[in-house]
Amino acid sequence: MPPLARRLTRRLALTLFVLWGAATFAFAGMRLVPGDPARVIAGGVQANATPQVLDAIRAEYGLREPIVVQYALFLGRLLRADLGGSYQLGRPVSQVIGEQIGATLALAAGAAALGFGLAVALATLTAGRPRLRALSRAAEFCSISTPNFWIGILLLAAFSFHLGWFPVIGDDGPAELVLPCAALALPIAGVLAQVTREGLERALDQPFALTARARGATEHRIRVRHALRHAALPVLTLSGWVLGELLAGTVVVETVFARQGLGHVVVAAVRGRDFPVVTGVVVLSALTFSLINIVVDLLYGLADPRIGAAA
C-alpha cells in the first residue's frame, strides 16, 4: 500500500472513531441534562401540556425504554445514516439540516475566504514595514478583541441603516452576505494576519530571500512567490481553529443579521431538547472537522514537500 493511501485509511478510521465519540457525547449530554424531555418537547415551561399529551410523546419517541436500549437504537440508526426525525418540527433531521446548511455554508465559506484573503493581503503588504505594520497591528487587535456581535451591530448601523448599501431584510442576494461575512471574518483575519506576518518576516530574514533579492527579484515577487509559502504552515495549522471560530460565530452573526442557518437550528434544538437535531448537527460538525483536518494534512505536503517525504 502506498504511504499516502495508508495514511488516508488511518485517517478515515480515526474519523469514524471521532464520529462515534461525538455522537455518544451528544447522546449522553442531552440525557444528563435534568428534567423530563417529554415536557420540554411539549413546548417547554410555558406549555400547558396535559399528562395524556406527555404520555403520547413518551410513547412516540421511545422515551420510556431503558437508556441502554435507547442508546443502542440510536447507534443502529446512525449506522444506517438515519438521523431520525425532529421532535419539534415533525420532519426528518436530514431535511431540516439540508434546508439550513446552504445559508450557513455560504456565510462560513464567505467569511473564511474573506478572512484568509484579508489576512494574507495585510500580512504581505505590512511585513517588515514598521509604519504600516503598526497601523495594521492596531486594527488587528481591535478586530480580535471586539466580539462578532458588536462588529455586526456597528456594520449594520453604518452600512445598512445609515448608508443603505446592504439590506438586512429582503431577498437573499449576494449583497445580503457582505455584512455578515465581514462581521464573522474580521476577528479571524486579525489573528491570521498576525500569524502570517510573523511567518513572512521570519522567511524574509532567511538567506534565500537575500539570494533572491541579489538575483534581481522584485520585492513583490519575493514576498508572494517565495516567503508566503514558508508562512503557510502555521496558518494551515490554524485552520481547525478557524473552523471552530466560524461555527461559534455563525450562531451570533445569524442572530444579529436575522439570517437562517444551522446556528439557529442548533440553539433552538438544544433549548427544546430536540435530541435528533442536536446529534445530527454534532455528527455533521465532527465530520467536517475531520475532513478539514485530512485536507490540511494533505496541504502540508504540498506546502512543504519535506513533510510528505517524512511521513
Partner 1 sequence: MSVSDDTATQVDDEPAGRRGSLRSRRPAVVAAALVVAAAIVLVLVVTTGGRDEPSAGRAGAAGPVAGGTLTYALAGTQVSLDPAVAATAVTGLIDRNIFDSLVVQTGPATFGPWLATKWAVSGDGRTYTFTLRDGVTFHDGTPFTAEAVKATLDHVVDPATKSAYAASLIAPYEKSRVVDDHVVEVTLKRPFTPFLQALSVPYLGIQSPAALAKPVADYRPVGTGPFSYVSWEKDKRVTLSKNAAYASPPAGASHQGAAYLDGLVFEFVPEDATRYGALTSGQVQAIAGVPPVNAGRLRSLGGFDLTVQETPGLNYNLYLNQTRGPLKDVRVRRALSAAVNVAELVKNIYFGRFPVARNPLSRTTAAYDATAESELASYDLAAAERLLDEAGWKKGPGGYRVKDGRTLALTWPYWAEGNKEQRDVLAEGVQAQAKLAGIKIERPAVDTGAFVSKYLIGGEYDLVDVSFARPTPDVLRFAFASGNTYAKAGGNVALVDSPRIDTWVEEAAETSDPATAAKDYAAVQHEVLRQAYVLPLYTPVQLTAFSAKARGVAFDAQTYPVFHGVWLGA
Minimum CB–partner distance for residue 221 and partner 1 (Å): 18
158 touches partner 1 by CB under 8 A: yes
Angstrom distance (rounded) from CA 156 to CA 2? 53
64 touches partner 1 by CB under 8 A: no
Q: Which stretch binds partner 1 (CB under 8 A): 2-10, 66-74, 141-149, 217-225?
A: 141-149
> Of 29 and 301, which has the nearer Cβ to partner 1?
29
The helix or strand, by DSSP H or E, that contains position 95, with its residue range, turns out to be helix 93-126
User: Are 115 and 185 in contact, with CB atoms under 8 Å apart?
Assistant: yes
Name the E strands within 252-305. Answer: none
Compute, in degrees rounded to 10, the torsion defined by CA atoms 118, 120, 122, 126: 180
> Of 35 and 147, which has the nearer Cβ to partner 1?
35
User: Are 15 and 290 in contact, with CB atoms under 8 Å apart?
Assistant: yes
> Of 78 and 156, which has the nearer Cβ to partner 1?
156
Judged by CB under 8 A, the residue of 83, 104, 273, 278 near partner 1 is: 273
User: Are 261 and 103 in contact, with CB atoms under 8 Å apart?
Assistant: yes
Judged by CB under 8 A, the residue of 3, 10, 16, 35 near partner 1 is: 35
Judged by CB under 8 A, the residue of 26, 57, 114, 212 near partner 1 is: 57
Query: What's CA 152's distance to the chain center, in Å?
Result: 18
219 touches partner 1 by CB under 8 A: no
Judged by CB under 8 A, the residue of 2, 66, 164, 216 near partner 1 is: 164
Angstrom distance (rounded) from CA 228 to CA 98? 37
Burial (0-12, 13-18, 19+ Cβ within 10 Å), 24 = middle
Burial (0-12, 13-18, 19+ Cβ within 10 Å), 180 = buried
Minimum CB–partner distance for residue 197 and partner 1 (Å): 10
174 touches partner 1 by CB under 8 A: no
Q: What is the DSSP letter of 85?
A: B
> What residues between 90 and 119 interact with partner 1 by CB under 8 A?
90-92, 96, 99-100
Q: Which stretch binds partner 1 (CB under 8 A): 8-16, 254-262, 278-286, 301-309?
A: 254-262
47 touches partner 1 by CB under 8 A: yes
> Of 268 and 292, which has the nearer Cβ to partner 1?
268
161 touches partner 1 by CB under 8 A: yes
Burial (0-12, 13-18, 19+ Cβ within 10 Å), 146 = middle
34 touches partner 1 by CB under 8 A: yes
Residue with cell 465519540: 21
Query: What's CA 241's distance to the chain center, in Å?
Result: 8
Interaction pattern, residues 183-202, with partner 1; x per rule: CB under 8 A: --------x--xx--x----
Minimum CB–partner distance for residue 271 and partner 1 (Å): 7
Angstrom distance (rounded) from CA 216 to CA 220? 11
> Of 19 and 97, which has the nearer Cβ to partner 1?
97
131 touches partner 1 by CB under 8 A: yes
